[in-house]
Amino acid sequence: MRMTKKQFENFKTILLNVLVLTSLFLTWQIWTFEPEYEKEAAPTEASPVGIQEVNISDVVKPNQLVYHIDNQHFTSFNFNAINEFYNEFISGIKIKSFTVENDMEDLEGRGDSVELIFPTLLSNDVLKKLVSISKDDIPLPTFDRIIIPSIASGKNNEIILLNTSSQVGMRATIEASSKMKEWYANVFSSFDITSNEAEEMEMARAKELQVSDKSPVFYLPIQGQSIASFGGSTDELANEEDFKEALFPEQDTVEKNTFNNISDLYTDGSRDLTFNYDNEYMVFKNPPSTSSQFDANESPILDAYGFINKHFGFRVTDLNDDKYVLSEWVTSSQKNTDQITFRLYTEGYPVYSSSTEDLDEVNVTLENNDVSTYKRMLKIIQYTKEISERQLPGYEEVEGLLEEGSFKTSEIQNMTVGYTIDRSANQPYDFSLIPQWFVKLNGTWTPLQSTSNALGGEEVGLE
Amino acid sequence: MDWNRTKTILILTFLVFNIFLASDLFKKQTELSEIEQQKQVTIEDQLKNLNVTYEKNLPVQSEKMSFISGDVHEFTEEEEKTLEEGTSQDITLDGEKLVSTLKKPFPISDPKEPSAFSIFLETYVYEGGKYQYYGPAENNPNIKYFVETFEDRPIYSQESGMLIVTLEDDKVVSYTQTYLSLQKIGKERKIDPASETIGLLLNQQDIGLNDEVENMSIGYYTTVANEDERDTFVFVPTWQVVVSNKKNDDPEKNYYVNAIEKTVFSDTEESIEGEQEEKESDNSDQPDPSKPKTVTSDE
């Protein structure tokens, strides 16, 4: 049977339609082919939450500043005083080269200089992020003090980096900015402890304290300083939902458990996020792979810093200067874990609490180069109000307290002035901040208390 | 305008265009499978070099799976009644745990054969068809573990979805059951194929010289649910890879490889059993399934 012309034309129309549809289909297939392949390969990144990200130099800070002038020492523990010099220093120098120095005595005879004492050891990858360094290998892996001898107008200036716990050090040749040189020429050289400026910085005449040959040298104010106590109240930091969104890579696989209205637990089968309503505390657990290849973490401090920056951050509010600053770094070589603690600084000093779940710390544990736990309180300081002044013990009293203490003085790693959070019920505030001496023993900061006077100081102010 | 002629021209144009598109798509697809094949070849080479025994022809194609959530099921008295009336068994409910003693022990033709239990499961056990044979208790071959499944895929190492059956003289005398109501959550996700999972274990040196990959299966697993008594679990699509090494006399190792995030968790056979025993003995108020007599004396 022969096709009529009309039938043939109809057939052509159908064929054309089929071809057009096929071409559309094929185009769509090609279009979607590659993106899908790419998409499956890239894991989704959690969205950051928080107020704002901060620089590493806002988080890694010294806790004590010491001026060494004509064999005299002047020191300040006040955060704001330390900050001023520290910020100038890290932006004003360029490190050109390093040399290891094994003779500690050689490093200590340094003449007029400024010393920065950090609350914990720092790794050299942190140093690379803090200051500009033109060399990649840094011979000393960790350090906790930096000494900057008076910078002259010449070219070859040096700074000294020390690791006081293992008694090693290195020299670094630096290039200093003209601003730094000016500061040394004008401000440092004519420093006067009786000036208003020194008082503002809470600078005090200090004396060396070295409890044993192997111990680091501490500089303690000869006269006890008078520091304000504060009363304050807290406010909630954020709602759970924000944290949940930040900490779980995919929201559609997260389920919630509620335990008797005391706590909520979110899980996606690989990680848990617990909110405890009793004390407004948050714990995030993310068990790392347990494989036979279990390596030490490569850059724990930087990783912890990066993680917190993306997950609610260090700046607790925009309104005041309260912030969390690196305070402890504890490595367990047995378990290949690193525990990093960032401590709350308020009213110029670090804050410590006797409770393990309090405002004072943000804790991050790293395992297998990944964050395995993240803990913090979901509260911020809403306001603080000065309630009294407290006279802290001076050099001799501190020395006495150290003798009295139930620890070996040779184990002291660091000393500082800070605040204890007092949450006793008989006060009109949520909590109060009491200034006190703290010593760092075995990686933990402990208040230095007298057996006769619980807080090791005396009240001088008026309520 | 001659529409008939235009149609002919258009047909020819589209024909050429379609041939071009089809060939392009074909080329892309072969390239992709070549990459997969190459990956496969290198993994196979590595396995061969290390003298690793494994099942040949590991699947390279990946499929899609969902996460699942599991709510702990609290057995109701009604369910208890239905089971007791339909079959002759004495049931004790203890919150989320169901403990049953069969009035008439149920004979199992060949207790070593998992399929021999299917009639028992279907008849006597609540949602029994959803449980899959896992293995005998290490210290007692008369105690058999069954794990809950979702769409025939097992939930590994999870006490809240488990059936523990006690046999005496090849007859089921009692069992203890926990049950999770499972459902899919979230969108379906592409999971890593078996070949990539083996590649990952090779890379991490979890599979090494003279090892034998005894078994590999896809199921569900959670890495965070062992410390508290939660009511809702989330399970992630996970490969279980059982590796042994006859030459070294090492205990058999279980690896759980997250098929989405590629994290690897391991435990040895011993420690799983150890944990179960430990946890069970903690619950002193509950009958220990490894001691069937205790169950009977409970009546």
Domains, chain B? 43-68+183-271 (2.40.128.690), 74-178 (3.30.310.160)
Sign of the dihedral through C-alpha A390, A395, A400, A405: positive
Q: Does the complex come out with an ipTM higher than 0.90? A: no
Q: In this predicted structure, what is the pLDDT of residue A54? A: 83
Give the mean model confidence (pLDDT) for residues B276-290. 36
- Give the residue ranges of DSSP H helices in A331-417: 395-404
For A6, nearest residue in chain B (alpha carbons): B4
Per domain, the residue ranges of chain A are 56-222, 237-379, 383-459
What is the distance of C-alpha A258 from the center of its chain?
32
Start-to-end Cα distance in chain B: 96
Integer Cα distance of B98 and A436 in angstroms: 58
Q: In this predicted structure, what is the pLDDT of residue A20? A: 93
pLDDT band at B296 (very low <50, low <70, confident <90, very high): very low
Q: Convert the pLDDT of each residue in A378-424 to its tens digit.
A: 777 888 888 888 889 999 999 888 888 888 888 888 999 999 998 88
Mark yes or no for CB contact A272/B222 under 8 Å.
no
Integer Cα distance of A273 and A243 in angstroms: 9
What amino acid is encoded at B85 in this protein?
E
Sign of the dihedral through C-alpha B220, B224, B230, B232: negative
Q: Across the interface, which of A33, A250, A272 has its CB nearest the CB of B28? A: A33
Q: In this predicted structure, what is the pLDDT of residue A114? A: 92
Contact assessment for residue A313 and residue A54, using Cβ atoms and an 8 Å cutoff: yes
Six-digit token string for A363: 């804790």
For residue B18, list chain A residues with Cβ-Cβ distance below 8 A.
19, 22-23, 26
Mark yes or no for CB contact A270/B225 under 8 Å.
no
Contact assessment for residue B150 and residue B68, using Cβ atoms and an 8 Å cutoff: yes
For residue B236, list chain A residues with Cβ-Cβ distance below 8 A.
253, 268-270
Instruction: Decide if A30 touches B, using CB distance below 8 A.
Output: yes
Say which CATH superfamily domain A237-379 falls into.
YycH protein, domain 2 (3.30.310.160)
For residue A260, list chain B residues with Cβ-Cβ distance below 8 A.
none
* Range ranked top by mean pLDDT from A60-74, A353-367, A418-432, B23-37: A60-74
Percent of chain B with pLDDT over 70: 85
DSSP helix/strand/coil, A426:
coil
Strand ranges inside A70-197, DSSP E:
72-76, 93-101, 113-123, 132-133, 142-149, 157-163, 168-176
Instruction: Decide if B12 touches A, using CB distance below 8 A.
Output: no
What is the distance of C-alpha A108 from the center of its chain?
28
For residue B7, list chain A residues with Cβ-Cβ distance below 8 A.
9, 12-13, 16
Q: Please check the confidence at residue A46 and state whether its pLDDT lies above 70.
A: no
Instruction: Decide if A276 touches B, using CB distance below 8 A.
Output: no
More confident residue, A18 or B94: A18
What is the model's pTM? 0.79
For chain A, the average pLDDT equals: 83
Q: Please check the confidence at residue B275 and state whether its pLDDT lies above 60.
A: no
Q: Across the interface, which of A19, A20, A289 has its CB nearest the CB of B265? A: A289
Integer Cα distance of B98 and B85 in angstroms: 16
pLDDT band at B282 (very low <50, low <70, confident <90, very high): very low
Contact assessment for residue A19 and residue B14, using Cβ atoms and an 8 Å cutoff: yes
Q: Please check the confidence at residue A339 and state whether its pLDDT lies above 90.
A: yes
Q: In this predicted structure, what is the pLDDT of residue B45? A: 82
Q: Please check the confidence at residue B294 and state whether its pLDDT lies above 50.
A: no
Q: In this predicted structure, what is the pLDDT of residue A290? A: 76
Mark yes or no for CB contact A23/B185 under 8 Å.
no
Strands A93-101 and A132-133: parallel
Integer Cα distance of B256 and A291 in angstroms: 10
